[in-house]
């Protein structure tokens, strides 16, 4: 970090995310590839860091490459039906060995604390156990999948008991049946069902690709956010498209949608190849992967008294720069019902106010501000269109705005410059001739 100012800005930007995460339940799922990769130690340090911030963690690991290398070493045949492994008794033996080895390696790394920090000896407790009850998948396309199973039930009480004591819960891709049998499950199935049963705040899949990508004429484009409905449309178009979807999207997106529909608030797909990917996804505004939610993250709504703090944060730097006219908290409290805000992922990212002048059938658009990190994405346009509709519906015919530095922006949105004597009479009385704002008007 280059300067103290940058540090302070950075610290202020991450603190709300850290604060919002405290006490929340995150389910993080990763394949066995992650464990084989030499960078796993760094990932485990990030798990430790999250746990130390008071986040309740459930980790779900896979062991696919480790199982396959054992099967190859034993010269055992591998067969799949609809992408699912057929697990006969000999295969199950390899599954048990591979999963057991991966699990103890993860437990060992989680026991390290945060090396070279004051938290080096902070012992993070890990619990594994018989939390998942499984049933056999059965016969698919005439083939008995034998010991390949799916989740039947999750012992939520037992998991919550551990989480409440600050213990990290580690789940392996295995489940046990009431008849005492062991089944080989997929990590996607376990992660989605556990997250749903816990009503987790987040389910995060660490994947091979940067996230969910859509094929466009100019290549694959990462989708940073999508709703369940958009996800379903994407899967449907992928099925009919000639080019194959990303393997990760095919594998994880259906489970991500399933978890969201069952009440998980956010599902993320994040690259496992980026150092600190989890931290970047969780503690930066824009994240680095794809986030799926049941409902749209962005809503436009009338401001409420509780929004005043956030509105002040948004407008104060612009007031200090002389771009907006100063408004104090008392004035905002009195005028709050005039304000409309855009909320993105529970954060106020834009605001604007509409002041009616009924005698002149005109409205003033004022205090328009978009958070710097969300500019140039059409947010200002959405807000102004919304207020224009609102003014029109209320029977107003003219919308005007006063600005010193944003003239072209208004011109490009259909406003034209006029003179202060064209303002509603009441407004003219308050026109500040020292500030010399330009007046723009639009007939609506
Ligand atoms: C002006 C503002 C509201 C636009 O919000 P936004 O969400 O970025 O707007 P949009 O995405 O709809 O439009 C972005 C376009 O406007 C342009 N633009 C932004 N500020 C501008 C300005 N002061 N003058 C001219 N054009 C401007 C951007 O360059 C971009 O165009 P481009 O993509 O062709 O480069 C935002 O920049 C802001 O909050 N500025 C500070 C406060 C302010 O000036 N408020 C208006 C005072 S009344």
Q: How far away, in angstroms, is 11 Cα from ligand 1 center?
A: 27
**With 90 as the cut, is the pLDDT of residue 392 above it?**
yes
Bridge pairing between strands 56-61 and 168-171: parallel
Q: Give the domain CATH number at 399.
A: 3.40.630.30
Residue 83 pLDDT class (50, 70, 90 cuts): confident
Q: Kindly provide the residue ranges of all beta strands, DSSP E only, lying in 338-444, ordered along the sequence.
A: 339-344, 347-357, 362-370, 398-403, 416-418, 438-443
* pLDDT, averaged across the chain: 91
CA-based angle 128:133:137, to the nearest 5? 125
CB atoms within 10 A of CB 160: 15
For position 93, what pLDDT does the model report?
A: 94
Examine the domain organization and report whether 146 and 246 are in the same domain.
yes
Examine the domain organization and report whether 189 and 333 are in the same domain.
no
**With 80 as the cut, is the pLDDT of residue 245 above it?**
no
Examine the domain organization and report whether 95 and 45 are in the same domain.
yes
| Average pLDDT value for residue range 349-377 | 94
Assess contact for 132 and 191: CB atoms under 8 A: no
**With 70 as the cut, is the pLDDT of residue 122 above it?**
no
For position 210, what pLDDT does the model report?
A: 94
**With 70 as the cut, is the pLDDT of residue 40 above it?**
yes
Instruction: Read off the DSSP letter of residue 372.
Output: G
Examine the domain organization and report whether 189 and 271 are in the same domain.
yes
* Angstrom distance (rounded) from CA 23 to CA 57: 10
Q: How far away, in angstroms, is 436 Cα from ligand 1 center?
A: 20
Domain C-terminal end among 242, 275, 293: 293
Most confident of 57-61, 210-214, 427-431: 57-61
Examine the domain organization and report whether 283 and 344 are in the same domain.
no
Domain C-terminal end among 293, 315, 335: 293
Residue 399 pLDDT class (50, 70, 90 cuts): very high
* Angstrom distance (rounded) from CA 91 to CA 182: 12
For position 218, what pLDDT does the model report?
A: 81
Examine the domain organization and report whether 197 and 277 are in the same domain.
yes
For position 117, what pLDDT does the model report?
A: 65
| Average pLDDT value for residue range 118-136 | 84
| Average pLDDT value for residue range 310-316 | 95
Examine the domain organization and report whether 284 and 321 are in the same domain.
no
Q: Give the domain CATH number at 218.
A: 3.40.1160.10
Pocket test for ligand 1, best of 318, 380, 442 (most atoms within 8 A of CB): 380
| Average pLDDT value for residue range 337-358 | 95
- Which of 26-35, 231-240, 254-263 is least confident? 231-240
Residue 118 pLDDT class (50, 70, 90 cuts): low
For position 317, what pLDDT does the model report?
A: 94
For position 120, what pLDDT does the model report?
A: 66
Pocket test for ligand 1, best of 317, 340, 376, 440 (most atoms within 8 A of CB): 376
* Angstrom distance (rounded) from CA 33 to CA 61: 10
Residue matched to tokens 């059965």: 138
**With 80 as the cut, is the pLDDT of residue 259 above it?**
yes
CB atoms within 10 A of CB 214: 16
Examine the domain organization and report whether 258 and 328 are in the same domain.
no
| Average pLDDT value for residue range 151-173 | 96
pTM for the predicted model, two decimal places: 0.78
For position 248, what pLDDT does the model report?
A: 86
- Which of 66-75, 198-207, 281-290 is least confident? 281-290
Q: Residues 417-426: pLDDT tens digits?
A: 999 999 998 8
Instruction: Read off the DSSP letter of residue 245.
Output: P
Strand partners, 200: none
Q: Residues 3-15: pLDDT tens digits?
A: 888 888 888 878 8
* Angstrom distance (rounded) from CA 329 to CA 319: 13
CA-based angle 20:278:170, to the nearest 5? 90
* Angstrom distance (rounded) from CA 225 to CA 222: 9
For position 199, what pLDDT does the model report?
A: 96
Domain C-terminal end among 247, 278, 293: 293
For position 113, what pLDDT does the model report?
A: 65
List residues near ligand 1 (CB under 6 A): 318, 323, 368-370, 375-381, 401, 403, 405-406, 408-409
Examine the domain organization and report whether 355 and 257 are in the same domain.
no
* Angstrom distance (rounded) from CA 17 to CA 284: 8
Of 48 and 390, which is predicted with more confidence?
390
Angstrom distances, CA of residue 312 to CA of 5, 14, 369: 21, 19, 11
For position 244, what pLDDT does the model report?
A: 61
Q: How far away, in angstroms, is 406 Cα from ligand 1 center?
A: 7
Q: For the chain, how many structural domains are there in total?
A: 2
Q: How far away, in angstroms, is 431 Cα from ligand 1 center?
A: 24
* Angstrom distance (rounded) from CA 261 to CA 195: 11
Assess contact for 264 and 203: CB atoms under 8 A: yes
Q: Residues 207-216: pLDDT tens digits?
A: 999 999 888 8
Domain that holds residue 438: 298-443
Examine the domain organization and report whether 225 and 343 are in the same domain.
no
Examine the domain organization and report whether 387 and 421 are in the same domain.
yes
Ramachandran angles phi, psi of 423, nearest 5°: -70, 155
For position 346, what pLDDT does the model report?
A: 84
Burial of 62 (0-12, 13-18, 19+ CB in 10 A): buried
* Angstrom distance (rounded) from CA 299 to CA 303: 11
Whose C-alpha lies nearest to ligand 1, atom 30? 376
Examine the domain organization and report whether 123 and 158 are in the same domain.
yes
For position 215, what pLDDT does the model report?
A: 80
H or E, element range at 47: helix 40-52
């Amino acid at each position: 970090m280059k300067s103290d100012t940058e540090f302070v800005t950075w610290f202020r930007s991450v603190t709300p995310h850290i604060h919002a995460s405290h006490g929340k339940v995150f389910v993080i799922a990763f394949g066995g590839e992650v464990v084989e990769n030499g960078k796993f130690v760094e990932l485990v340090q990030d798990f430790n860091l999250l746990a130390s911030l008071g986040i309740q963690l459930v980790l779900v690991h896979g062991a696919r490459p480790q199982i396959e290398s054992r099967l190859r070493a034993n010269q055992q045949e591998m067969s799949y039906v609809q992408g699912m492994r057929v697990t006969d008794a000999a295969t199950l033996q390899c599954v048990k060995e591979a999963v057991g080895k991966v699990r103890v390696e993860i437990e060992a790394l989680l026991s390290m604390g945060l090396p070279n920090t004051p938290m080096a000896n902070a012992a993070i407790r890990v619990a594994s156990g018989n939390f998942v009850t499984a049933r056999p998948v059965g016969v698919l396309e005439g083939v008995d999948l034998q010991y390949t199973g799916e989740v039947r039930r999750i012992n939520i009480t037992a998991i919550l008991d551990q989480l409440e004591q600050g213990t990290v819960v580690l789940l392996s891709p295995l489940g046990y049946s009431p008849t005492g049998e062991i089944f080989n499950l997929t990590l996607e199935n376990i992660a989605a069902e556990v997250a749903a049963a816990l009503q987790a705040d987040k389910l995060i899949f660490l994947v091979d690709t940067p996230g969910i990508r859509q094929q466009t004429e100019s290549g694959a484009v990462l989708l940073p956010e999508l709703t369940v409905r958009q996800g379903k449309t994407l899967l449907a178009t992928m099925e009919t498209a000639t080019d194959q979807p990303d393997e990760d999207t095919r594998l994880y997106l259906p489970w991500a949608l399933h978890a969201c529909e069952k009440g998980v608030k956010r599902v993320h797909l994040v690259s496992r190849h980026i150092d600190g990917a989890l931290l970047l996804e969780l503690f930066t505004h824009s994240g680095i992967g794809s986030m799926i939610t049941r409902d749209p993250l962005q809503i436009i709504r009338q401001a409420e008294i509780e929004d005043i703090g956030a509105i002040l944060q948004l407008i104060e730097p612009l007031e200090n720069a002389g771009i907006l006219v100063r408004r104090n908290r008392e004035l905002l409290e009195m005028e709050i019902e005039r304000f409309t805000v855009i909320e993105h992922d529970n954060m106020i990212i834009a605001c604007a106010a509409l002041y009616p002048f009924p005698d002149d059938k005109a409205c003033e658009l004022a205090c328009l501000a978009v958070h710097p990190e969300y500019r140039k994405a059409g947010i200002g346009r959405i807000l102004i269109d919304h207020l224009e509709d609102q003014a029109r519906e209320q029977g107003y015919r003219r919308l005007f705005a006063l600005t010193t530095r944003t003239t072209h922006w208004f011109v490009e949105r259909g406003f034209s410059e006029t003179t202060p004597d064209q303002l509603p009479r009441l407004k003219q009385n308050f026109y500040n001739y020292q500030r010399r704002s330009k007046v723009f008007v639009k007939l609506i």
